[in-house]
Amino acid sequence: MNKEELVEELKKIEIEINETQQKQLDVYADFLIEYNKQTNLTAIKEKKDIYLKHFYDSLVLNRYIKSNQKILDIGTGAGFPGCVLALFNPETQFILLDSNNKKIKFLEELIQKLNLKNVELIQARAEDYVKNNLEKFDLVTSRAVAELRILSELSLPALKIGGLFLPLKANITEELEASKETIEILGGHLETVDKYLLPFEKSQRSILIIKHIKESSPIYPRSYDKILKKPLKNSYK
Ligand code: SAM
């Protein structure tokens, strides 16, 4: 997907992209390609793939974002989806979190280049950060970070009541079935699954819309070790 095709495809999902945003995405893609030659940030190296698999795929979440929200992107990597969404939502505050120092360093330079004022970068483990930031966020996003049961324990406690957890997933059916109990224990409710096909290659993607309807117990998130060894089920309530 090139720049013109991105503009066209975004129009189809009702996202307007202005000249400045187009230029900013171009700077983002070029900087990512250059940086990736020395420091491994992403397996996606071609500009056309960055436009499709990173930019377009991040922007499908745009419809869920409102002004003046506070959004946490867990395991943001090189800024997907959080940094791309920040470009399109200057009135919304984005906290981009990753445990990997190399990725945070890249993002520090990137947000300077793009002059982004609505982004805060945090280098931390999500389980530690969320434990100290319970019920602070309107939305939590996350792509390609962990299995849904694990991700739910990292994400739902960070949300205000009424806030939305919006993980981006590929094929979700089995993973979702295995996670229903975990989501319920954490005070979440699956509202809907928004399925779409990535343009051109037509691969299946899903956005889960999970609402935080009840307080999570303050014992969550547990240590990562425990989350992995004993994914939440009713017997561990
Ligand atoms: N979200 C980005 C994307 O879609 O391109 C990056 C995905 S990358 C496969 C997973 C990222 O999650 C890595 O950068 C890793 O450091 C981060 N990560 C995994 N577990 C984490 C945790 N518990 N806390 C913080 N970051 C974590």
Task: List the pLDDT tens digit at each of the 237 positions of the chain.
Answer: 999 999 999 999 999 999 999 999 999 999 999 999 999 999 999 999 999 999 999 999 999 999 999 999 999 999 999 999 999 999 999 999 999 999 999 999 999 999 999 999 999 999 999 999 999 999 999 999 999 999 999 999 999 999 999 999 987 888 898 999 999 999 999 999 999 999 999 999 999 999 999 999 999 999 999 999 998 875 544
- Determine whether the shortest distance from the Cβ of 153 to ligand 1 is under 6 A: no
Q: Report how far residue 210's alpha carbon sits from residue 148's, in angstroms, rounded to the nearest whole number.
A: 11
**What integer pLDDT is reported at residue 234 of this predicted model?**
59
Q: Which domains does the chain have, with CATH numbers?
A: 66-236 (3.40.50.150)
Helix (H) or strand (E) holding 204: strand 204-212
Helix (H) or strand (E) holding 11: helix 3-12
**Nearest Cα residue to 25 out of 1, 12, 37:** 1
Nearest ligand 1 atom, CA 79: 2
Nearest ligand 1 atom, CA 82: 1
C-alpha of residue 19 to centroid of ligand 1, in Å: 30
Closest residue CA from atom 15 of ligand 1: 75
Closest residue CA from atom 27 of ligand 1: 75
Please report, as a single letter, which amino acid is at residue 183. I
Nearest ligand 1 atom, CA 103: 14
Please report, as a single letter, which amino acid is at residue 89. N
Q: How many CA atoms lie within 13 A of 72 on its CB side?
A: 30
Q: At what angle do helices 3-12 and 19-38 cross, to 10 degrees?
A: 120
Q: Report how far residue 11's alpha carbon sits from residue 71's, in angstroms, rounded to the nearest whole number.
A: 24
Residue to substitute in 40, 50, 99 for testing ligand 1 pocket (most ligand atoms within 8 angstroms of CB)? 99
Residue to substitute in 59, 76, 145 for testing ligand 1 pocket (most ligand atoms within 8 angstroms of CB)? 145
